[in-house]
Each structure stands twice: as structure tokens, then as C-alpha cells.
Amino acid sequence: MRVLALCGSLRAGSYNRRLLESAGAQLPDDVVFDIYEGLADVPAYDEDLDDAPAAVSALRTAIDEADAVLVATPEYNSSLPGLLKNALDWVSRPFPDNALRAKPTAVVGASTGLFGAVWAQAETRKVLNAIGANVLDEELPVGQAHRVFTAEGDIIDPDVRAALARVVDQLLSMTGPPASVPT
């Protein structure tokens, strides 16, 4: 089984990247977990382009090859970051047969504010639902993220660690039988 992670923040030391890394560390050994590194290369969405730019094709392929997608988003101006929205706009094409169509997907988020990117998560789930993804109706708001992680990136708060494990378990259960069980 393969889980692809998309991080809506490019910032060095991003709390959302740390959240994804923590999620990956909790997965069983037979699950391949990749944090997608090419979002910064995705150009502004342009429907007039006949062929998708290489960075867009690579993103679509990575999503298509994944069994599930985990998105971590910060909150910018009460919504999801433009970088993430732009990538999702590209991936939404061609509609309805896009790479995210019926793909098990979950959204989590962290911010240094009190609310843990709740609005950004809701907006991201809204976009993913419009695209046709199979979106887990669960959120994980990690507020005051600067107090939740150690300098090494580990989650200090056992409640946050347990909540992240629940989201990851639910996401994996959306993909069918466990990867280690023959079908």
C-alpha cells in the first residue's frame, strides 16, 4: 500500500510537514509513505495549456499511483494556501476522471494559532469533495503547534499523537483490506 502526503507549507521547519512525518512514522512497515516534494514546481493553473507541464504530470502520476492521500495544511487568511489550492486545481483535470477521483483522502492541519487551521481544513475538504475524492469527514486541528512539537519534530502531546493515529487508521481502512493481508 502507498500513501502520498501533500504538505501545503513550503516553510523550512513547517509544523504541517512535521505532522506528516509523524503520521508516516506511525504507519505499518508494509505501507510506503511519501511526502510529495514537487508542489513548489507546479505552475499557476492555466486551462489554456493543451498539455500539462511536467511538474503537473508528475503530481498527477504520484497521486494516481497512491492508494490514499494525506494532506496537511496551514491556514493562510482563514483559508488554504494558494500553493495547495493551485495544485488541487491542476489535479482536478480532466474532470471527472482525475487522479483524485474516489481516492481515499484525509486532511489534517497545524498552526501556531489557537484553532489549528480548522477553516483551512474545511476549505481543503470542500475542494477535494468537489474534485470527487473520497474524503474522510474528520479533522485534526493542531493549535499552538509551536508547543506541540519538540525541536526534533516529535509530537509532545499524547492526545495529538493519538488523534493523528486515529485519522491515519481511518484513512487506511478506506483503502480496503490491510496491505499485508492477501486478497
Give per-residue pLDDT as tens, 91-108: 999 988 999 999 999 999
CA 132 – CA 22 distance, rounded (Å): 27
Radius of gyration of the chain (CA): 16
Over residues 55-94, the pLDDT tens digits come to 999 999 999 999 999 999 999 999 999 999 999 999 999 9
Domains of the chain by residue range: 2-173
CA 12 – CA 104 distance, rounded (Å): 28
Domain 2-173 has CATH 3.40.50.360: yes
Q: Is the pTM of this model over 0.85?
A: yes
The Cα angle at residue 38 between residues 111 and 24, in degrees rounded to 5: 55
